[in-house]
Amino acid sequence: MYRYSRQYTGPVQAIIMDWAGTTVDFGSRAPIEGFQRLFASRGIELSEAEARGPMGTEKREHIRQLCELSRIREAWKVQFGKLPDSHDIDAMFDDFVPLQIEAIAAASDLIPGVTELLAWAKRRDIRIGANTGYAESMVAGLLERAAKQGYRPESMVCATQVSKGRPYPYMSLLNVMELGVKNLAACVKIDDTQPGIEEGLNAGMWTIALACSGNEVGLSLEAWQALTADEQEVYRQPACEKFHRGGAHYVVDTIADAVTCLEDISRRLASGEQP
């Protein structure tokens, strides 16, 4: 008769983090610039709100979902006399890759708090993985620039390396396999998008959502810091509510606030709690 293993009560073993809006590119600005330039090349103006809608998904899928928006479909029909099809989406993705590489190059600074989190994890022998909705062809420069700033994840997975991207759990599960971690309950997914949080939940991990540094607010670090506390709260509240409704175990402003959550997860694991 099969016997389940003893419930895990050990420490956090791995942290899996997203890139844009989580560890680099405060406000997740690079993808937006790429999508807006892409649609502009087709004579269609794409608003920032529209561009952010599918954020967190694999980028070809992101383009497909944008092309499903009724306003975009109508604009496309006016421009080209037909609705966008799979051939159009393939061509757009091919054009998007160099646009995204260029945008990423201009938005690769580490978000404040990443270095401190990495040091905290290193002292506890916690493994670090990263995954992204970016394609493999887009990230070589990003990885190089992050490494120069001291961030070198032990496992790196792109959406194009798995059969399905977020919210499916496959990227995070591949991270875990590459890191050699046995217990999913010992893993934490940190992300700034709802699909990324769902990815972690579907993988059986703890999740920490970042409400203010990424897609939900969408402001650069300078623009965010220029707001008054009351103005920041106007942005923060709906973002936090969305992530709480979406099932995130923790919701904080930025990666700088994540260590407190990780310490609490360690205490909860020790007391027998599971994600």
Which residues are catalytic, by number?
Answer: 18, 59
Apex 256 CA angle, 250 and 258, nearest 5: 30
**Helix, strand, coil shares, percent, the chain, to 5:** 50, 10, 35
Full DSSP string of 202-214: HTT-EEEEESSSS
Contact in structure between 194 and 55 (CB atoms under 8 Å): no
Spatial CA neighbour of 30 closest among 54, 8, 7, 51? 51
DSSP H helices, 68-205, are 70-80, 86-105, 114-123, 140-148, 170-179, 194-202
- Contacts of residues 258-264 at CB distance under 8 Å and 24 or more positions apart, as own/partner, are 258/113, 258/117, 258/190, 258/208, 258/210, 259/116, 259/117, 259/120, 261/188, 261/208, 262/12, 262/15, 262/117, 262/120, 262/188, 262/208
Q: Please state, in angstroms and rounded to a whole number, the distance separating the CA atoms of residues 102 and 126.
A: 33
Alpha-carbon distance values, 209 to 73, 187, 189, 240 (Å): 32, 14, 8, 8
